[in-house]
Amino acid sequence: MNIHLKNKPASNPRRAAFTLIEMIGVLAVIAILAAVLIPKVFQAINDSRVNNAAMSCQTVKTAIADHYAKYGSLTSGRTTPPATFPLPTAHYDTNLLFESFLDKPFAVKIGDGTANTLIELDAAEAVGQAAVAPATFTPLTHITGASAFNLDGVLPANDALGTAVVYAVITGVNLSDARDLNTRIDGAAPELGETVATAGAESDIGGRVKYTFVAGAPTTVYIYLTHR
């Protein structure tokens, strides 16, 4: 007995797909998330760069303390008997590297990264160097010399007294990074000579971080490390 089966009609279900409205909704959500998250990502990257600069300065400061503990001076070292470094000595960090107090030369992730970003050993300025108005001081005469630092905010200015002072120099820094670095090292309170003449326009000659504002141009930041 032959049984003939009828061919069943082929099923043809509708293929699943996004509608235009669903696609627009997904794109809108992505756009909102991007608008919220991307600025935070860039801010986190920038915070990391500024934190790197602050930590690099602290690393050098620790190395200087170790150097001083061994040689009893900022201006001598490297040999037995210790050699005397001339004042000023640029790239003082290379001496600390030679003595194995540092693992690598001083470098930061802010600024222009040129050879002018360095650790400087300099002669201390004279007692009683007076602070000058922010409108008149220049990058190399923040108090009346690059090695003079007003640390306590009380005039007359220079508190880095003695034979020598060590400070970091970071060139080509934008104002936002200079301000953020200053906040991390000196705190957010206004300091001696700090001005806000226009939106974001400021100079700072007080505390351990000092810089001068130049409209439309990067600045040089000086960071006090120690003096003896």
pLDDT score for 20: 79
Of 104, 102, 107, residue with least CA distance to 171: 107
User: Could you tell me which residue, 8 or 158, shows the higher pLDDT?
Assistant: 158
SS3 38: helix
Q: How far is CA 205 from CA 106, 108, 164, 181, in A?
A: 23, 22, 19, 14
Say how far apart CA 165 and CA 227 lie, in whole Å: 4
DSSP element (H, E) containing 97: helix 93-98
| 84-132 per-position pLDDT tens digit | 999 989 999 999 999 999 999 999 999 998 988 999 999 887 655 554 4
Q: How far is CA 68 from CA 81, 96, 225, in A?
A: 15, 11, 13
Of 172, 201, 58, residue with least CA distance to 109: 172
pLDDT score for 3: 54
